[in-house]
Structure 1
Amino acid sequence: MAESDPSKRIAPAAIQSLKEALTYAYWYKSDLQSFLTHTVSDSTILARLDWGDYKRNIVAKLVDHLAQNEHIYQRQLLRLMTETANITDFNHLARLDDGAEKVQKAEAAVAALRNQVKGHGDIVAEEKNVERRRAETHQKLMALAAVKEHIEQLKQEYFALLGSDNPQQRGYKLEKILRELFEVFDLDPKASFRIEGEQIDGAFTFEATDYLLEAKWQAEPVSAKHLDGMAGKLSRKLDNTLGLYLSINGFSEDGVKAHSSGRRMLILMDGSDLMAVLEGRIDLIQLLLRKRREASQTGNIYLGIHEILTGKHS
């Protein structure tokens, strides 16, 4: 990004409030790590952190680095402030020993940060303008005849697969649809996309973060065992690597619950999400942004497309 205007710098009091809010909002380092991985889009920033250190030191090192290099990282710092200020669910703290006291401290720290964010309204407005311009650019892209025709062609190919009972053939064709869809949205699908039975494995890059992709088309919802397998792959990658798991027929309730706590490395997508993108009701970038934001703020890794499109989550 361009260098920030020195007259529009984030105040030291806001920096301190951010440190306090991050320290108190998450008791376990795994929860903090999950939140930061979903929120800070520049993976090189998180690579600097030593997760063996004390939580307060980790937070201080991160925030100080962003603040000391605000001319480079102001957008990252502001995003971290606003996303932290938007945390409203502290149930993960309430279940701990002295939970009521921990919740009270977290709520007070986040409220103080929220007031600081309000005091930086001009910078927040500028950041919102950046997001608005990005959305307008995407809308213009989606309005191009060539792009609309390509997505319409992919939609028809997907419709043709719905009645298929050949898992191998269906898998190959779904792989092609996904690869081309990711290319349309400049998500840099890697050459490692491959098909084995009903399952597709691949990788892509989104907002400077690397993602592993698994896609599965089976009759029953994907179980906790399959999500465990995906989490195992991610645990052997760099700390800031995330996963997108697409299951055409959804996920088991126990699997979603098991992976919505602790270090949340996955976001989940189903056939309804894919159909909404192919039908042009939401673009893939906005879908991923909304799902990732929900995962970072509430721990819900399986935000439904209906909730997104009806405005229940923003």
Structure 2
Amino acid sequence: MSTASQPATDGFDAAFHYPPDLFEQLVDTIPLLCRSKNAVLLFFQGAGVPAEDLDDIRGELKADASAHNKYGITRTILTRLNERGDNGLRSRREVVKRVVEFEDFGTTWDNDRMRAKGQVASIRERVNVHDAFTRMSMERDREAARHRETHERQQEEVRSRTAAIDGARDRLFALFGEQNPQRRGKLAEAALNDIFAAFGISVREAFELRGDDGEGIVEQIDGVVDIDGTIYLVEMKWLSQTAGTGIVAQHLVRVMGRSGARGMIIANPGFSDAAVKQVRDAMGHMTVVLVTLEEIVGVLSRGDDLTNMLRTKIQAAVIDREPFRRI
């Protein structure tokens, strides 16, 4: 038996038994490949068929050579392999493999040779077609599995993001009962940074700039965020009354001193009319967006997208020169 050509037979690995049409093809083909009844038994023995499926037939042939013919032997052994279910899987696959790889037709009877070649070619084609469909089915299964994994990963990311937003939101809400203004301000900055990060907004936390000649701290920035590729210097104020022009003016100076940067002021409870006008008057030189803590709380309470809300306010500032578009 030659192994020069090796059509795939893995498509039958998962089959519980031979399908009826393949079964009959094997019954018609294997006897053509073997000149004698003992050669049929050796064919199956070489394919790993258990001895108990062969010994009784071998014994009956010794007692009476006419007890079986090659076709009857083949049918009986294939039936036994089918009945073995999963335990016969390897032998069933090997039987098919030996048939489709059979090339030494010089060992067959002359009268059977052409028919044997035709039968082997037919089974080989059937196996190859079956294997092609099996590969396509397996690829579809793998693709479906990849989609499931991607979906599960996305769902896990959503759950993780939601948990992070909920945790930061709860910490922010709890600060409305905090009586220490300094502690409340620091914790509010941290909570807002976590909220921005959970919405995918790049954040740099608060930092200080010091003078060159022992001047100490000359500037303090509550944070920096990146929205759609544009840098915003952020100032966070939690006050007992609306932020006035003094608060706003300090941040306008910080933004003006950095070419290409924009500003964002987040204040609780909000901004005075004079402060809003002051920012509007400066819009010819810079872009500054005014946001209230109430607006952020509203977004979190409704389950809306913070980034979309900020984009709406940014567009109003850039296009309409309206720094405080209330959401």
TM-score range relative to shorter protein = 0.3 to 0.5
TM superposition score normalised by structure 2: 0.46
TM superposition score normalised by structure 1: 0.48
Which one scores higher on RCO, CA 8 angstroms, separation ≥ 6? 1
Q: State the structure with more CA Rg.
A: 2
